[in-house]
Chains A and B, each alone.
Chain A
Amino acid sequence: MRVLIQLRPSPDVVAAVADPGRTAAAADVADGLPGVLLDPSFAPVAVPRPVPPAGGDPLSLNQPLRFSLAAEDASVLVRGEISDDEAAVRLALLPALRPDVVGVFADPVIESNLTCGGDAPVGDWHDVARLLAVEDLAGEGLDGAGVALAVLDTGINAAHVARHLGREFTLDAARSWNPAGVTGKAGEFEVDHGTMCAFDTLIAAPKATLLDLPVLLSRRPGGSAIDGLLSDAVAAFAHLRTVLETQPEESRALVISNSWGSFSPRWDFPVGSPGNYSDNPAHPFNLIVASLDAAGADVLFAAGNCGRDCRDGRCAFPDRPIVGANSHPRVLSVGGVDTGGERVGYSSQGPGRLEGRKPDLCAYTHFSGSKAFGDDQPDSGTSAACPVAAGLVAAVRTQWPASRLSPAQLRTLLRRTADDRSTVGFDHDYGYGVVDPRGILAALRRRSRA
């Protein structure tokens, strides 16, 4: 077992440990402790002594105390390990064998509590706006003006979005699109998941023009009562290519936000089958995603909510849950962090199935925002992280159309400037890190000068 051992060595040793200008090793303090394997990587720590007031109880901590780091008062902590088999004996014998040992304490593993589904919101959308440096972006003219931002989801309720944003925004009904059989009007769908996504895109790109594509409302033959089919997304992407091609080539800017995916291999062909979707770049949907990227669109997908720490109960892939287009090499796969910058426990981890290095990066989620699911419910899931990142991409596109910065170049820029959350660069929890708008701005300035 790992233990912390408190010792009271000679005053000169205590003074050396307490002096930040000097370096003391564990062996200087506690060499030769019987049965203890000292941890040389743990620098000894001076612990102040609680000193009671004159006439106070020398054993009580429930009184006003002064804390002394004087050499004759303080003690020192070192870290070590005792064999589990003889822990009880060692704990009893150590103070008896070594009078300088004043205590042996457990050193349990400590872990942060990751945010999970059902947890209360962590911060609100104003915090997200601050973290995304929205004022700095707007100061450089990056507010999404003139940029088309397509939300493929359950449809948008524009009145709800405007009410909770506290302002109006632009939704282009003419360039929006319904799957066959869906009869609602763009911007007039029931408040649901798509409304949340729309709200979240507008945090970083307040002047973007939203396109409403309610693909998840489709009820095609072969579908169920609760979801659309991948073929509806194929048709939606085909529509978006026509949107892109009507834009002048020199100013093309279309961002496509996708907070959905396939939870289960049950409806898919087996991996290795030519008709498979999850692992097959030749599936028609994966082909049309690649063709939209080649035509100049930025495609973003949520990484999914199948993180190992608290996965969504619908997750049925036994491993590698970032599947199909959500793991496509030509999209940005977006994982989720809370406003404290910690990965939310449900954010899917890589490797991805089409491309191993997934997710690409993380953006903010689990904050109080659209209130689409109730006043006390967060905008959550990688479903929220994806449109937050899509808004940031749309903000960049205000001044940097695809003719000036291709989708591939923009993905590279976002990965390269992300705030790395590990010591090894890319990792399968955070990807290349958390989106860093100030890093993006600096990189764009350098690119402008070049």
Chain B
Amino acid sequence: MRMVTVRLAAGATLAQAMEELGLPEEEVDTGYGLVAIDPAQGLYGLRVTEAGARRMDPEAGGGPYSDPPIEPYGPPR
């Protein structure tokens, strides 16, 4: 899965993001949903499959961005 961004009006829904990006539901992590990254700028984020990231409308969205694992910094091993 990859992260992508999309610019939408305030209060946007995941369905609107999928429509804007031209992606079907099976290529989107619906459990993750649509996350407001910077609502003042109308910037939202979602997780999509690698195939979906390749196929989405590049004019409509940003990315794909890496989504690396994160781990606790301790105790030092």
Q: Which residues of A contact B (CB under 8 A)?
A: 116-118, 153-154, 180-181, 193-194, 196, 215-216, 220-224, 226-235, 238, 241, 259-264, 267-269, 274-277, 283-284, 287-288, 290-291, 302, 304-305, 310, 312-314, 346, 373, 377-378, 380-384, 386
* A220 adjacent to B29 (CB under 8 Å): yes
Given contacts A221-B1, A235-B35, whether A117 and B77 have CB atoms under 8 Å apart is yes
* B70 adjacent to A196 (CB under 8 Å): no
Task: Report if B18 contacts A (CB, 8 A).
Answer: no
Q: Which of A260, A288, A290, A378 contacts B70 (CB 8 A)?
A: A260
* A305 adjacent to B74 (CB under 8 Å): yes
Q: Which of A232, A238, A383 contacts B72 (CB 8 A)?
A: A383
A-chain residues with CB within 8 Å of residue B2 when the two chains form the complex: 275
Task: Report if B38 contacts A (CB, 8 A).
Answer: yes
Interface residues of B in 13-33 (CB under 8 A from A): 29, 31-33
* A283 adjacent to B37 (CB under 8 Å): no
CA distance A317 to B71 in the complex (A): 14
* B37 adjacent to A287 (CB under 8 Å): yes
A177 to chain B, nearest CB (A): 12
A-chain residues with CB within 8 Å of residue B70 when the two chains form the complex: 215-216, 227-230, 232-233, 260-262
CA distance A262 to B29 in the complex (A): 22
A32 to chain B, nearest CB (A): 53
Q: Which of B38, B68, B72 contacts A229 (CB 8 A)?
A: B68
A-chain residues with CB within 8 Å of residue B69 when the two chains form the complex: 223-224, 226-230, 262, 267
Interface residues of B in 24-69 (CB under 8 A from A): 29, 31-33, 35-40, 43, 45, 47, 63-69
Given contacts A238-B36, A312-B77, whether A259 and B68 have CB atoms under 8 Å apart is no
CA distance A221 to B37 in the complex (A): 21
With an 8 Å Cβ cutoff, the count of chain B residues facing the other chain is 32
At the interface, is chain A mostly helix, strand, loop or mixed? loop
* B74 adjacent to A193 (CB under 8 Å): yes
A-chain residues with CB within 8 Å of residue B45 when the two chains form the complex: 231, 234, 284, 288
B-chain residues with CB within 8 Å of residue A277 when the two chains form the complex: 65-66, 68
Q: Which residue of A lies closest to B72 (CB)?
A: A193
B-chain residues with CB within 8 Å of residue A378 when the two chains form the complex: 75
B-chain residues with CB within 8 Å of residue A226 when the two chains form the complex: 69, 71
B-chain residues with CB within 8 Å of residue A224 when the two chains form the complex: 69
* A287 adjacent to B38 (CB under 8 Å): yes
